[in-house]
Amino acid sequence: AQSVAQPEDQVNVAEGNPLTVKCTYSVSGNPYLFWYVQYPNRGLQFLLKYITGDNLVKGSYGFEAEFNKSQTSFHLKKPSALVSDSALYFCAVRDTRSGAGSYQLTFGKGTKLSVIP
């Protein structure tokens, strides 16, 4: 079984400060990991993903995430937060041992990021 935990329901950060949104996962095999962002009354937008290779993944809007296999984590980071980054962020995982045709993503419960001017 695959699972994702986002331990913080809400993260507050001042504009211009670095931000981190935490994600930990559990899979049987190796993980494929994704971050999505959801703005109010909108669908989810893809930010970045880790499939294989470099542990530091760069994505859209200046976001990046670091895959840490020993800590089973995939935290989302940005060096300098913008007010426009305020949104709901979802981490998702897929186990590479999922059966053929089973490409289901398991999502975390989401973390609300508020960037304070």
Partner 1 sequence: NAGVTQTPKFRVLKTGQSMTLLCAQDMNHEYMYWYRQDPGMGLRLIHYSVGEGTTAKGEVPDGYNVSRLKKQNFLLGLESAAPSQTSVYFCASSSARQGAGDTQYFGPGTRLTVL
Least Cβ distance, residue 26 to partner 1 (angstroms): 15
Q: Which of 22, 49, 75, 77 binds partner 1 (CB under 8 A)?
A: 49
Interface with partner 1, residue 67, by CB under 8 A: no
Per CB under 8 A, the segment of 15-23, 38-46, 66-74, 75-83 that binds partner 1 is 38-46
Q: Which of 50, 48, 15 is nearest to 33 (CA)?
A: 50
Exposure string over 30-68, b if 16+ CB within 10 A, otherwise e: ebbbbbbbeeeeeebeebbbbeeeeeebebeeebbbbbe
Q: What is the closest distance, in whole angstroms, from the C-beta atom of residue 80 to partner 1 in the complex?
A: 26
Report d(CA 29, CA 21) in Å as an integer.
24
Work out which of 14, 51, 56, 116 binds partner 1, going by CB under 8 A. 51
Q: Do residues 108 and 92 lie in contact, with contact meaning Cβ atoms separated by under 8 Å?
A: yes
The label of the residue with tokens 């975390």 reads 108
Check residue 7 for interaction with partner 1 (CB under 8 A).
no
Interaction of residue 82 with partner 1, rule CB under 8 A: no
Nearer to partner 1, 46 or 61 (CB): 46
Nearest to 24 by CA among 16, 36, 12, 33: 33
**Binding-site ranges for partner 1 (CB under 8 A):** 9, 32, 34, 36, 41-46, 49, 51, 90, 94, 96, 98, 101-105, 107-110
